Amino acid sequence: MFVNDCLNVNGDGHLTIGGCDTVELAKEYGTPLYVLDENVIRETCRSYVNSFKKFYDGNGMPLYASKALSCKELCRIANEENIGLDVVSGGEIYTALQAGFPMEKVHFHGNNKTADEIKFALESKVGKFVVDNLYELELLNNIAGEMGVTANISFRIKPGVDAHTHNFIRTGQIDSKFGFALETGEAFNAVKEAIKLENVCLKELHCHIGSQIFDIEPFVTAAEIMIDFMGKIKNELGVVISELNLGGGFGIMYTEKDEPVPYENYMEKVSVAVKAKSAEYGIPVPFIYIEPGRSIVGEAGITLYTVGGKKEIPNIRTYVSVDGGMTDNIRYALYQSDYTVVNASKADKTPDEVITVAGKCCESGDLVQEHTKVAEVEVGDTLAVLSTGAYNYSMASNYNRIPRPAMIMVNNGTSRVIIKRESYEDIVKNDI
Ligand SMILES: *Cc1c(COP(=O)(O)O)cnc(C)c1O
């Protein structure tokens, strides 16, 4: 019935997560409320780490793509689970620093890192810069030179793999704002440039073919294309690049239509292809990074709302208004993402009422989900939207000056706040 087994129904007919009654959580902490199940997050981290042990002699490391949900507690958990971190901004670097994250295990991504961010990253001793373009390469080389340090770099490559996903989040093809294209020779030129420079050291090649991908095949193809490129670099330039970063994008379950593959299967298949291809070119088997974001936190999280109104428009639809919306979950408004909605107060009842869940912003497009089935809704019920752990809080805004919700972590029947609810004072704190 639900996306994963951390969700259940108790004797009161209420939805539970991690052994906690969601209706009680809503009462105790208020709504809207983000709830994360710690065990689901840790188990997913472990399955990625173990897949390297099992299929690749431990010669690799997952990096948590922190843009999915960047906060101190997630950085701490990633560190405890022996995984590294991806960041894409000074703010995400700052969060990692504040959490005491080991910065050598941080990769810095982004297609427009500013000079200030680059300086900050070098001062913070970020492990690797994933360089996106030649301007950045030059800027980084100059700043590192001024600071008297060497920056370890990777190049973001567009392998040209189409990963059959939503257009807005597809990034592997030539027409993408990210990275260097292989087909045009742009990537090869960048490598030639990098090896001439004094203050950068090219260690790794990177690709990321998209998001919410359910096939393993495009990942295998991308890995093969990347090793072909490493082979070409060795043959033509005599340079051996020893690390390969294959990005993230592993699909999760939002609704019953989604069929994620077990995350282990990924390294099982990719390792075979990588080993065979490396042998073909006589290059050492590379150290591999992968960058799961959504799959680490997505299914672990739910959002709880309180129903404040219901508007039946005969022969058209029934709007159910909740106390959050596009400010805490922009994904339906942005790209019509599917979600499973559950009436958490009546989770034992058949979901036979078709509703549209509307947010509270002054925006007709502020919908959380349209024409979705839930058990008959009354004002005061707690509604749960499932699989909201990724790209919800991290994309949240203060539109209409709505404070961002709190986030709590549940674990075997206990709960604790990991991000406080914003206050009205927070809302005006930078106003002069
Ligand atoms: C967004 C992103 C990821 C994570 O993608 P998910 O779909 O959340 O797994 C990993 N690497 C890079 C470079 C990204 O841009």
Q: Does 293 sit in the ligand 1 pocket, CB within 6 Å?
A: yes
pLDDT score recorded for residue 239 = 97
Which residue has the CA at smallest separation from atom 10 of ligand 1?
A: 248
Q: Is the CB of 245 under 6 A from ligand 1?
A: no
On the question of a cis peptide bond just before residue 32, with omega within 30 degrees of 0, the verdict is yes
Q: Which residues of 383-412 are buried (b: 16+ CB within 10 A; e: fewer)?
A: bbbbbbbbbbbbbbeeeeebbbbbbbbbbe
Q: What is the extent of the structural domain holding 218?
A: 38-295
Cα Rg of the chain (Å, integer): 23
* Ligand 1 center to 386 CA (angstroms): 20
pLDDT at 167: 46
Residues 259, 366 within the same domain:
no
Based on the fold, state whether residues 327 and 268 are members of the same structural domain. Answer: no
The pLDDT assigned to 173 comes to 66
Domain boundary among 273, 295, 317: 295
Do 56 and 178 have their domain in common?
yes
Question: Looking at the domain assignment, is residue 215 inside a domain?
Answer: yes
Residue 108: predicted pLDDT = 98
* Average pLDDT value over all residues in the chain: 95
pLDDT tens-digit series, residues 185-197: 999 999 999 999 9
The mean pLDDT value for 341-348 works out to: 98
Q: Does residue 104 lie within any of the structural domains? A: yes
- Residue among 157, 133, 170, 249 at smallest CA distance from 206: 157
Q: Is 1 within a domain?
A: no
**What distance in angstroms lies between residue 64's CA and the mean position of ligand 1's atoms?**
9
Which of 61, 67, 166, 392 best tests ligand 1's pocket when mutated (most atoms within 8 Å of CB)? 67
Note the pLDDT of residue 161. Answer: 83
Pocket mutation for ligand 1, best pick of 85, 215, 291, 335 (most atoms within 8 Å of C-beta): 291
Pick the last residue of a domain from 295, 312, 330: 295
What is the predicted pLDDT for the residue at 177? 84
Q: What is the pLDDT of residue 165?
A: 59
Percent of the chain at pLDDT > 90 equals: 91
Give the phi and the psi of residue 200 in degrees, each rounded to 5. Answer: -125, 150
Residues 327 and 306 in one domain: yes
pTM of the model: 0.96
Q: How confident is the model at residue 4 (pLDDT cuts 50, 70, 90)?
A: low
> Residue 164: what pLDDT?
62
Does 160 share its domain with 216?
yes
Same domain, 239 and 346: no
CA of 27 to the centre of ligand 1 (A): 35
The share of the chain scoring above pLDDT 70, in percent, equals 96
Ligand 1 atom at minimal distance to the Cα of residue 67: 1
Confidence of residue 392 (pLDDT cuts 50, 70, 90): very high
Same domain, 43 and 99: yes
The reply to whether 334 and 236 lie within a common domain is no
Phi, psi of 121 (to 5 degrees): -65, -40
pLDDT single digits (tens) 363-375: 999 999 999 999 9
CATH number at residue 156: 3.20.20.10
pLDDT category of residue 175 using cuts at 50, 70 and 90: confident
270 part of a folded domain? yes
- Which amino acids are annotated catalytic? 362
pLDDT higher than threshold 60 for residue 154: yes
Q: How many domains does the chain have?
A: 2
pLDDT reported for residue 195: 96
Q: Give the model confidence (pLDDT) of 46-90 as tens digits.
A: 999 999 999 999 999 999 999 999 999 999 999 999 999 999 999
Which pLDDT tens digit goes with each residue over 199-238? 999 999 999 998 999 989 999 999 999 999 999 999 999 9
73, 193: one domain: yes
Same-domain status, 322 and 372: yes
Whole-number pLDDT of residue 183: 87
- The answer to whether residue 2 is domain-embedded is no
Q: Could you tell me if 228 and 195 lie in one domain?
A: yes
> Is 151 part of any domain?
yes
- The yes-or-no verdict on residue 326 having pLDDT over 90 is yes
